Structure 1
Amino acid sequence: MKQVVWTIAGSDSGGGAGIQADIKAMQSFGVHGCTAITALTAQNSLGVEALNPISTEVIESQLLALEHDMKAAVIKIGMLANVQQIQLVSEHIKHYQSTWSVPPLVVYDPVAIASSGDLLTEEDTVSAIKECLLPLVDVITPNTHETQLLTGVYLIGPSAVREAAAKLQSWGAKAVVIKGGHWDYPSGYCIDYCIDGSTDGGSEYWLGNEKIQTPHSHGTGCSMASVIAACLAKQYPLKDAFILAKAYINQGLKAAVRYGEGIGPVAQTCFPENLDDYPQVIEAGSWLADELDFDAPNEFTMAAGFPACESKQLGLYAVVDTVDWLEKCLAQGIKTVQLRMKQGTERELDDAVAAAVMLGKKYDGHVYINDHWQLAIKHGAYGVHLGQEDLLEANLVAIKEAGLRLGLSTHGFYEMLRAHNYRPSYMAFGAIYPTTTKDMTGQIQGLEKLKHFVPLMSDYPTVAIGGIDLARASEVAATGVGSVAVVRAITEASDYQQAIAELQMAINSDG
Structure 2
Amino acid sequence: MNFPWAPAPGHARPIVWSIAGNDSAGGAGLSADQRAAQAFGVHLCPVVAAVTAQSSTGVTRIDAVSSKTLDAQLHALAADMPPAVIKTGLLASAAHVLTVARCVEKLRQRAPVALVVDPVLRSSTGASFAADDVLDAYVRELLPRATLTTPNEAEARRLVAALDPSVGATTAPALARRLRATGVQALAVTGGDSTGQGAHAMDWLDTQHASGWLSLPRIDTRHTHGTGCTFATSAAAALALGFVPADALVLAKMATAQALRHGYAAGQGAGPVASVGGFATDSSLMPMLTWGARFEIDSDSPTHPGRAAADIGLYAIVDSVERVAQVVAAGVRTVQLRIKTPDAPDVAWHAALRESMVQSLAACAAAGATLVVNDHWQLAAELAPTHPGTLAVHLGQEDLLALGDAGRAALAATRLPLGISSHSLWELARACALKPWYVACGPVWPTLTKAMPWVPQGLDNLAWWVHMAGVPVVAIGGILDLDQATQAARSGASGVCVVRGLGDLPTRTVPAWQAAIQAGRAAAPLPVPAFPHPSLNA
The bucket for the TM-score relative to the shorter chain is: 0.7 to 0.9
Question: What is the aligned counterpart of 1:359 among 335, 350, 363?
Answer: 363
SS of equivalent to 1:390: helix
Which shows bigger deviation, 15-24 or 133-142? 15-24
Count matched residues: 490
Residue in 1 that maps onto 2:235: 228
- Helix, strand or coil: the match of 2:47? strand
Q: Which amino acid aligns with 2:517?
A: I
Q: Which amino acid is 1:305 matched to?
A: P
Report the CA distance between 1:216 and its aligned residue: 0.9
Instruction: State which drifts further: 373-382 or 126-135.
Output: 373-382
Q: Which moved more, 1:410-419 or 1:138-147?
A: 410-419
Alignment partner of 1:43: what SS?
strand
- Offset at 1:222? 0.8
- Given residue 145 of structure 1, which amino acid in structure 2 is its aligned partner? A
Give the counterpart letter for 2:289 in structure 1. Answer: V
Counterpart of 1:175? 186
Instruction: Work out whether residues 116 and 263 of structure 1, in 8 Å CA contact, stay in contact via their aligned partners in 2.
Output: no
Alignment equivalent of 2:304, drawn from 302, 307, 316: 307
- What residue is the counterpart of 2:150 in the other structure? 141
Q: 2:533 is matched with which residue?
A: none
Unaligned runs of 5+ residues in structure 1 are 291-300
- Is the Cα–Cα contact under 8 Å of residues 251 and 272 in structure 1 kept in the other structure? no
My pick for the range that moved more, 211-220 or 4-13, is 4-13
How many Å separate the matches in 1 of 2:91 and 2:226?
16
Conserved? CA contact 1:19–1:35, under 8 Å = yes
In structure 2, give the amino acid aligned to 1:437. Answer: T
Of residues 353, 376, 379, the one that matches 2:380 is 376
- For residues 506 and 82 of structure 1, the distance between their equivalents in structure 2, rounded to whole angstroms, comes to 64
- Identity of matched residues, %: 34
Residue identity matched to 1:337: V
Tell me what 1:46 maps to: 57
Pick aligned residue for 1:204 from 205, 211, 215: 211
Match of 1:298 in 2: none
User: C-alpha deviations, 1:382-426, integer Å up to 9, x for none?
Assistant: 211122233363966776676643222223333333333332222
Is 1:422–2:430 an aligned residue pair? Answer: no
Superposed displacement of residue 111, structure 1: 1.3
Aligned to 2:338: 340
Alpha-carbon RMSD across the aligned residues, in angstroms, is 3.3
With structure 1 as the length reference, what TM-score do the two structures score?
0.84
**Residue 129 in 1 paired to residue 126 in 2?**
no
State the AA in 2 paired with 1:19.
L
* Offset at residue 467 of structure 1 (A): 2.5
Counterpart residue identity of residue 457, structure 1: A
Residue identity in the other structure for 1:411: H
CA displacement at 1:453 relative to structure 2: 2.3
Give the equivalent residue in structure 2 for 1:165: 176
Contact 1:145 1:182 in 2 (8 A): no
The offset of 1:342, in angstroms, is 1.0
Q: CA offset at residue 39 of structure 1?
A: 2.8
Residue 92 of structure 1: how far off its partner (Å): 1.3
How far residue 371 of structure 1 moved from its aligned partner, in angstroms, is 1.0
3-state SS of 1:217 partner: coil
| Greater shift in the superposed pair: 446-455 or 367-376 | 446-455
Aligned AA (1:355): Q
The separation in 1 between residues aligned to 2:457 and 2:436, in whole angstroms, is 21
Distance 1:378 1:190 in 2: 39
Contact between 1:243 and 1:279, CA under 8 Å: does it hold in 2? yes
**What CA distance in whole angstroms lies between the structure 2 residues aligned with 1:499 and 1:235?**
39
Q: Against the structure 1 CA distance between its residues 305 and 157, is the aligned structure 2 distance closer, same or farther, given a 3 Å change threshold? A: farther
2:252 matched residue in structure 1: 245
Match of 2:397 in 1: 388
User: Which of these residues, 394, 415, 423, is aligned with residue 411 of structure 1?
Assistant: 423
Structure 1 residue 139: deviation in Å? 1.1
Equivalent residue for 1:294? Answer: none
User: Letter of the aligned partner of 1:143 in structure 2?
Assistant: N
Instruction: Give yes or no for contact 1:318–1:334 (8 Å, CA) kept in 2.
Output: yes
| 1:464/1:481 contact within 8 Å kept | yes
SS of 1:15 mapped into structure 2: coil
**Residues 395 and 77 of structure 1, relative CA distance in 2, 3 Å threshold:** closer
- Consecutive unaligned residues of structure 2, counting only runs of 5 or more, are 1-6, 8-12, 343-348, 385-389, 522-538
CA change 1:105–1:354 in 2 (3 A) is same
Matches within 5 A, 1:55-94: 55-94=66-105
Offset of residue 442 of structure 1: 4.2
Aligned partner of 2:346 in structure 1 is none
